[in-house]
Amino acid sequence: MIQTYHAGRHFLQIPGPTNVPDRVLRAIDQPTMDHRGPAFGRFGLELLGKLRAVFKTHGPVVVFPASGTGAWEAALVNTLSPGDTVLMCRTGWFATLWREMAERLGLAPILIETDWRRGADVPAIAEALAKDTAHRIKAVCVVHNETSTGCASHIDAVRRALDAEGHPALLLVDTISSLASIDYRHDEWRVDVTVAGSQKGLMLPPGLSFNAVSAKALAAAEMARLPRSYWDWRPMLTANETGYFPYTPGTNLLYGLNEAVSMLLEEGLSNVFARHDRHAEATRRAVRAWGLEIQCAEPRDYSSSLTGVRVPEGHSADALRAVILDKFNMSLGNGLGILKDRVFRIGHLGDFGDLQLLGTLGGVEMGLRAAGVPHRPGGVQAAIDYLAGNA
């Protein structure tokens, strides 16, 4: 059935893809250029240089015309060999998918479980590393911000655990829903591969993904024996030296990326992170005022990109989301994996301001009422009170 027209702008409040700002849309809306011509090389060099600031790295950032899943694969196949042991933390649905990919590629993951209500268990990581005196673990893989739960992990603490054991494993981090939303420092935390995607904090449509790569990861790539072709960093890095790509890049998305990075740097990354923190706190206050439960049970691990909200027992999160879409033209994130129908997710990342947040929370509050989900009114007011006092 063709949906009837809804007046007013759709609220895309899933935790990515996020709303693409007009400046980025206009940048994308330019004639596609010759990706082997002289103008492209100049553009590529400028863009690749600028992009490093967002990852807080001085090293190379590889850009793939692919979704985030491709960048996951690139991180694994460039650094590891068949049968290698990798330590992975099942913090939620996306960590589960990364683990499944590692198994399909012929790696041997050791899994550290959580209850999907907190970030990665750093003491358990430290214990696994301490036991591994033979250094069989070749990489530790952590999802910085678990988009399925709204729980963030402490990458600096994971780094300290590796250092404390003097363990040589590589550190591979998925920042698909944290980059340019939550403080992240590739060089300072000595991350070896940072995996990222275009469609969340970077405010672009889906279609680009990234690997920021350390010198240690580049050295590992020389020894790694997993098969790779499209994802191989080496031809990419050689071509990137002059601003080009070894195969056809996503040219118009790169125009958008150039604009998005300019916007982030104009705002200042610390201001970008503070804005996300503030919107996340306002959202949590609204959820508590409604009398609903936040999926993340550990306040230290609260995500600033999204908030997962549990619906009361006997109620359906999917039915609530359907009512909100139908009546108020707003998309919210669904529950994934074990959280299916138990949780809805409010995305508050990307190009997002106070009034958009209040519209979003207004839509949720009206939706709770329309769908008959038991709650107290006053969530939007709680958010206003917080935002007004923290302008």
Ligand X SMILES: Cc1ncc(COP(=O)(O)O)c(C=O)c1O
List interacting residues with ligand X (CB under 6 A): 16, 67-69, 94, 143, 147, 174, 176-177, 197, 206
Nearer to ligand X, 109 or 379 (CB): 109
Q: How far is the CB of 185 from ligand X (least distance, A)?
A: 18
Cis peptide before 17 (omega within 30 of 0): yes
Q: How far is the CB of 199 from ligand X (least distance, A)?
A: 6
Q: Burial of 238 by CB count in 10 Å (0-12 exposed, 13-18 middle, 19+ buried)? A: exposed
Nearer to ligand X, 150 or 249 (CB): 150
Q: How far is the CB of 91 from ligand X (least distance, A)?
A: 9
Nearer to ligand X, 54 or 143 (CB): 143
How many Cβ atoms sit within 10 Å of the Cβ of residue 291? 14
Nearer to ligand X, 210 or 255 (CB): 210
Rounded to 5 degrees, φ, ψ at 302 are -55, 135
Nearer to ligand X, 177 or 283 (CB): 177
Q: How far is the CB of 348 from ligand X (least distance, A)?
A: 15
Nearer to ligand X, 206 or 337 (CB): 206
Q: How far is the CB of 304 from ligand X (least distance, A)?
A: 14
Q: How far is the CB of 120 from ligand X (least distance, A)?
A: 12
135: left (phi over 0), alpha (psi -120 to 50) or beta: left
Q: How far is the CB of 182 from ligand X (least distance, A)?
A: 12
Sign of CA dihedral 290, 296, 301, 306: negative
Residue in the structure block whose two tokens are 């300019």: 262
CB 27 within 8 A of CB 204: no
Q: How far is the CB of 250 from ligand X (least distance, A)?
A: 13
Q: How far is the CB of 327 from ligand X (least distance, A)?
A: 26
Nearer to ligand X, 347 or 379 (CB): 347
Nearer to ligand X, 97 or 297 (CB): 97
Residue nearest ligand X, Cβ-based: 68
Q: How far is the CB of 282 from ligand X (least distance, A)?
A: 22
Nearer to ligand X, 101 or 370 (CB): 101
Nearer to ligand X, 147 or 214 (CB): 147
